[in-house]
Amino acid sequence: MIPKETIDLIFESCVIEQVVGSYLPDLKKKGTNYWACCPFHNEKTPSFSVSPTKGIYKCFGCGKGGNSVNFVMELGGFTYPEALRELAKKYNIEIEEKELTPDQIDRANKRDGIYLISSYANKFFQKELLDSLEGKLVGLSYFNQRGFSKEIIKKFQLGYSPKQKDALTKQAIKDSYQKEFLEESGLSFFNEKGSADRFRERVIFPIHNYSGKVLGFGGRALNPKNKAKYLNSPENLIYHKSKVLYGLYFSKSEIAKQNNCYIVEGYTDVVSMHQSGIENVVSASGTALSSEQVNLIGRLTKNITLLFDGDDAGLRASFKSIDLILKEGMNVKIVMFPKGEDPDSYSKKLSQKEYLKFLSEKGKDFIQYKTELLNKTSKNEPSVRVKHIKDIARSISMIPDRLLRSEYCKLSSSLLDLSEEDLLKEVSVFLQGKQSNPRIRNSSPENHSSAQINNSEIKSTLLDSCEREILRLLINYGDRILEFEEGKIKVSEFIFDELNHDKINFSNEFYRSVLGEYKSLTSDSEVININHFLQHNNDEIQQLAISFVSKKHEISSRWEDLHQIFTGDETKNLEITIEKAVLSLKQAYIKSEISKINLQMKEDEDPSIQIISKLNKLNKALVVINKLLGRNFN
């Protein structure tokens, strides 16, 4: 476990523009901040900002934000401790680990043990393939039949697991590796009768993580009696199949260089394409494509081309993958191979130049791809045609960018011989069903007729906004001193006194928890360090704090000196800013309470005197608050 003092030293030592700049070569200084095109979403105009003074990054396009450690975790594919160690190495900081709890020690030991046995097994399988008689006769013959060269076999570290039922297990135990790790990794089975290898009599495809460590294996059966043709390692502490892409370690530099990633179905497809000279290719390891896998590619490029067999299974897989890729804000094209062909077999029939030409010419935009299928299959059947149109509308609705959705509606309407208005309506229907997705909800077109918002929701939103503003002021200026005629007082003390006086509790549960944490910090310490929130271990709190300190446009202090142009600055009139925010919160709170009582009175035919009296008091208080806001701040 890394001590807190060392973590603090790492954070203090990090120069965020250096950390980000090592991943983003286009990072350039503009004003007080640095700017680049965001690595987390596709954009042409830079909206990704790095603030050296605050030690944070923030994208004003997709909303991603964080500090140096977050950035290294996201772009480097590291865990939190791994990112800390990576940065410690960069800034020559020595890490002395603290004593871990028994559970932490056990988990760390298991992870290390699985990594070690996976690396050992990988070497064992390679040795069996290249050095043993059985490996050469069976495994190497299979790879040779596939047309794999010796160089490509060594590059992908391909191997062979012998027919003997426990060859790996016996050798590993003989070499002092523990049964526990063999079992945890899924390489071996143990019972009262003895042990057995999971991958016996199979050719082996090791699966690497982003930085090249072996996480697990895929094995293809060579004995036709085997029930499962392909077998993968089970999920464990280091291997999660939905978060790994086969071949990414070998392909990542070429994916970034070509600004495009080909996704194929199988291991052999990846290896064959590399042998054909096309290296920007990965596979989902025989599983359905996941959002985590798409985001792994998104670190390198925003362009994906799906390569699928021309059979029905290929068609179904392509349809599912298209929507997922679009939902993650990526661009997608599809290449379907001739019937009976796949990326592996077809790569052997064409030269590299011919194959690249085929991929380029046959790559179709998802709209073109789906409309061609519609025209092929529906013909004069209206019900089938409507089903396909709805499918296209659903795919368009997955796109987070509103303008891009609009452009696809224009293109699709002409290809489908359908009015743009009808298609837009159909897309809107799907959008309304995705309100749980904030990226889509925030960018969807307004539709007042289909999405009426009642008054209580508006008031609730107003109250949330006022509570959020109070938190923003506390986190930014909590320790500043306000000077009123009555005397001086800290911002945090003034706000807490006002809230306590009127017995106001935050209605938003999340904001209430952050306010509670702020209060507990003030009781423990005289000064609140903003880094407590910017480096918070709760990601939601950290993102909130980053949004509070991030500004899209920073005004240079030289403007006033050079041009005598004076810009608004809330810190110059902080007393007014704070007082207005507190009064606005009280106003929103009273309106919310009045709304609740009015609703209650509608339900109760004979409301009590206490309810009526409370309503009168609230209305009088609202008049006073409105006057104070109008007189002092308009």
Give yes or no: residues 56 and 128 share one domain.
no
Please report the pLDDT score of residue 559 as a whole number: 42
Average pLDDT value for the chain: 83
Please report the pLDDT score of residue 617 as a whole number: 86
Please report the pLDDT score of residue 530 as a whole number: 78
Ranked by mean pLDDT, the top range of 169-178, 278-287, 339-348, 580-589 is: 169-178
Q: Evaluate whether residue 68 is within a structural domain.
A: yes
- At 633, the pLDDT band (50, 70, 90 cuts) reads low
φ and ψ of 399, to 5 deg:
-70, 120
Segment 478-509, tens digit of pLDDT: 888 888 777 888 888 899 989 988 888 898 88
Give the number of other Cβ atoms within 10 Å of residue 21's Cβ: 16
Instruction: Tell me if residue 505 falls in helix, strand or coil.
Output: coil
Segment 168-205, tens digit of pLDDT: 999 999 999 999 999 999 999 999 888 999 999 999 99
Q: Evaluate whether residue 188 is within a structural domain.
A: yes
Q: Evaluate whether residue 196 is within a structural domain.
A: yes
Mean pLDDT of 355-372: 86
Give yes or no: residues 48 and 106 share one domain.
no
Q: Evaluate whether residue 466 is within a structural domain.
A: yes
Q: Exposed/middle/buried for 93, CB within 10 Å: 0-12, 13-18, 19+? A: middle
Mean pLDDT of 151-162: 96
Give yes or no: residues 171 and 230 share one domain.
yes
Spell out the residues 6+ positions from residue 483 whose beta carbon is closer than 8 angstroms to its own: 575
d(CA 558, CA 34): 18
Q: What is the per-residue DSSP string for 41-107?
A: S--SS--EEEETTTTEEEETTT--EE-HHHHHHHHHT--HHHHHHHHHHHTT----PPPPPHHHHHH
Mean pLDDT of 92-98: 78
CA end-to-end distance (rounded Å), the chain = 55
Q: Evaluate whether residue 245 is within a structural domain.
A: no
- At 119, the pLDDT band (50, 70, 90 cuts) reads very high
Farthest-apart Cα atoms in the chain, separation: 96
- At 574, the pLDDT band (50, 70, 90 cuts) reads confident
Give yes or no: residues 377 and 509 share one domain.
no
- At 106, the pLDDT band (50, 70, 90 cuts) reads confident
Range of the domain at 49: 4-90
Please report the pLDDT score of residue 606 as a whole number: 67
Token pair recorded at residue 532 = 């407590």
Mean pLDDT of 145-162: 95
Please report the pLDDT score of residue 526 as a whole number: 55
Please report the pLDDT score of residue 434 as a whole number: 56
Please report the pLDDT score of residue 202 as a whole number: 96
Please report the pLDDT score of residue 167 as a whole number: 95
d(CA 179, CA 165): 16
Give yes or no: residues 137 and 186 share one domain.
yes
* Domain C-terminal end among 443, 468, 498: 443
Give yes or no: residues 401 and 536 share one domain.
no
Name the least confident of 234-238, 502-506, 527-531: 527-531
Going edge to edge, which strands form the sheet with 33-36? Answer: 28-30, 33-36, 48-51, 56-59, 65-66
Q: Exposed/middle/buried for 39, CB within 10 Å: 0-12, 13-18, 19+? A: buried
Give yes or no: residues 504 and 608 share one domain.
yes
Give yes or no: residues 482 and 612 share one domain.
yes
* Block residue for tokens 């290719």: 281
Mean pLDDT of 514-531: 78
* Domain C-terminal end among 212, 239, 266: 239
- At 297, the pLDDT band (50, 70, 90 cuts) reads confident
Segment 388-434, tens digit of pLDDT: 888 888 889 988 888 888 888 888 888 888 888 888 888 888 887 65
Give yes or no: residues 472 and 507 share one domain.
yes
Please report the pLDDT score of residue 333 as a whole number: 92
Query: How many domains, in total, are found in the chain?
Result: 4
Q: Evaluate whether residue 356 is within a structural domain.
A: no
pLDDT at residue 5 is higher than 50: yes
Q: Evaluate whether residue 629 is within a structural domain.
A: yes
Segment 258-278, tens digit of pLDDT: 889 999 988 999 999 999 999
Give yes or no: residues 439 and 479 share one domain.
no
Tell me the pairing of strands 303-308 and 331-336.
parallel
**pLDDT exceeding 90 applies to what percent of the chain?**
26
pLDDT at residue 473 is higher than 80: yes
* Domain C-terminal end among 188, 211, 239: 239
Give yes or no: residues 110 and 10 share one domain.
no
Please report the pLDDT score of residue 310 as a whole number: 63
d(CA 47, CA 65): 12
Q: Evaluate whether residue 343 is within a structural domain.
A: no
- At 317, the pLDDT band (50, 70, 90 cuts) reads low
CATH code for the domain of 225: 3.90.980.10
Q: Which residue has the higher pLDDT, 536 or 115?
A: 115
Ranked by mean pLDDT, the top range of 122-131, 217-226, 297-306, 582-591 is: 122-131
Give yes or no: residues 498 and 625 share one domain.
yes
- At 126, the pLDDT band (50, 70, 90 cuts) reads very high
d(CA 80, CA 537): 10
d(CA 526, CA 473): 17
Please report the pLDDT score of residue 534 as a whole number: 82
CATH code for the domain of 40: 3.90.580.10
